[in-house]
C-alpha cells in the first residue's frame, strides 16, 4: 500500500506528540500539576488506545501505567509524589547502587563508538539546538527530541519528506534504537513503581514501532517529491 503525502503528514503529527509525551513524562519532576496531568482523561485514553497495539512492550507498558493508578488510588498525594520522585531519580539520574548506567548512549555502546562531537555536528546540520544545554548530546531525551524535531521539520517541509524520512531512519537506527533497549532491560528490574516501569517499556516499544513504520513508508515517500 502506497501512503499519500497527507497520510504521512497526519501520522507525523501523532508521532511527534508521542515523542513529546515520552520525553515530557520521563523528564518532568513529579509535582501536583504533573500528577493532575498524568491522571487526566486524555492520558487514560492514550494508554487504553496504545495498549491495544500488537507491540508487546508498548502494550505491557500501557497496562502497567493503568494498573499503577488503581494501585495508588486513595494514597496521600504528597506520599505518592515522593515515591514517584525517588523512583524517577533512581531510573533516570542516579541508578540505585550503580546497578546500571543512566541513559546516555556512551554508557551503552563500545568505547569510541559514540562521538559527542559528531552528534553535535549532526544536530547543527539540521538546525537543532538542544533546549537543555547542561546535558551531553547523547542523553536519551535529547536524542528523542531531535527525532521529534525532524518529524516537525517534515510537516513544515512536505517537499522534503523522502530526505527527512531517511534522516530519521539513519539517526534512529544508529543512535537511540541501538542502545535504549539495553538500558531499559537493565533499569526496569530496579523500578519501584509501575508508572515509570511502564513508561520505559513504552519508550522501548515505540522506537521498535518507529523503525518498522519508517521503513514501510520510505519507498512510498520516494514517489511523493
Q: What 3-state class would DSSP assign to 136? A: coil
Q: Could you identify the residue written with the cell 527530541?
A: 145
Whether 97 shows a pLDDT value over 80: the answer reads: no
Question: CA 70 to CA 205: how far, in whole Å?
Answer: 23
Q: Give the pLDDT confidence of 34-87 residue by residue, as tens digits.
A: 999 999 999 999 999 999 988 999 999 999 999 999 999 999 999 999 999 999
Cα Rg, the chain, nearest whole Å: 18
Q: pLDDT tier at 223 (50, 70, 90 boundaries)?
A: low
- pLDDT at residue 221 in the model: 58
Handedness of CA 134, 140, 141, 142 (dihedral sign): positive
For the whole prediction, is pTM greater than 0.85?
A: yes
Q: Give the pLDDT confidence of 202-211 residue by residue, as tens digits.
A: 999 999 999 9
Q: Looking at the DSSP assignment, which residues form a beta bridge with residue 139?
A: 104
**Domains in the chain with CATH codes:** 5-221 (1.10.3480.10)
Amino acid at each position: 500500500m502506497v501512503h499519500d503525502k497527507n497520510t504521512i503528514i497526519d501520522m507525523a503529527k501523532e508521532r511527534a506528540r508521542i515523542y513529546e509525551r515520552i520525553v515530557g513524562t520521563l523528564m518532568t519532576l513529579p509535582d501536583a500539576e504533573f500528577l493532575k496531568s498524568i491522571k487526566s482523561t486524555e492520558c487514560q485514553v492514550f494508554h487504553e488506545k496504545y495498549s491495544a497495539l500488537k507491540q508487546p512492550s508498548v502494550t505491557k507498558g500501557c497496562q502497567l501505567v493503568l494498573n499503577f493508578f488503581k494501585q495508588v488510588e486513595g494514597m496521600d498525594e504528597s506520599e505518592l509524589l515522593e515515591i514517584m520522585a525517588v523512583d524517577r531519580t533512581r531510573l533516570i539520574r542516579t541508578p540505585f547502587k550503580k546497578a546500571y548506567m543512566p541513559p546516555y548512549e556512551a554508557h551503552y555502546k563500545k568505547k569510541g563508538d559514540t562521538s559527542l562531537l559528531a552528534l553535535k555536528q549532526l544536530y547543527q546540520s539540521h538546525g537543532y539546538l538542544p533546549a537543555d544545554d547542561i546535558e551531553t548530546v547523547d542523553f536519551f531525551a535529547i536524542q528523542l527530541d531531535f527525532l521529534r524535531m525532524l518529524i516537525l521539520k517534515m510537516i513544515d517541509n512536505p517537499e522534503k519528506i523522502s530526505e527527512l524520512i531517511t534522516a530519521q531512519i539513519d539517526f534512529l537506527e544508529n543512535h537511540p534504537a541501538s542502545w535504549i533497549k539495553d538500558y531499559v532491560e537493565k533499569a526496569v528490574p530496579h523500578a519501584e513503581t509501575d508508572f515509570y516501569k511502564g513508561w520505559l517499556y513504552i519508550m522501548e516499544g515505540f522506537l521498535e514501532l518507529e523503525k518498522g513504520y519508517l521503513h514501510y513508508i520510505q519507498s512510498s515517500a520516494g514517489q511523493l517529491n
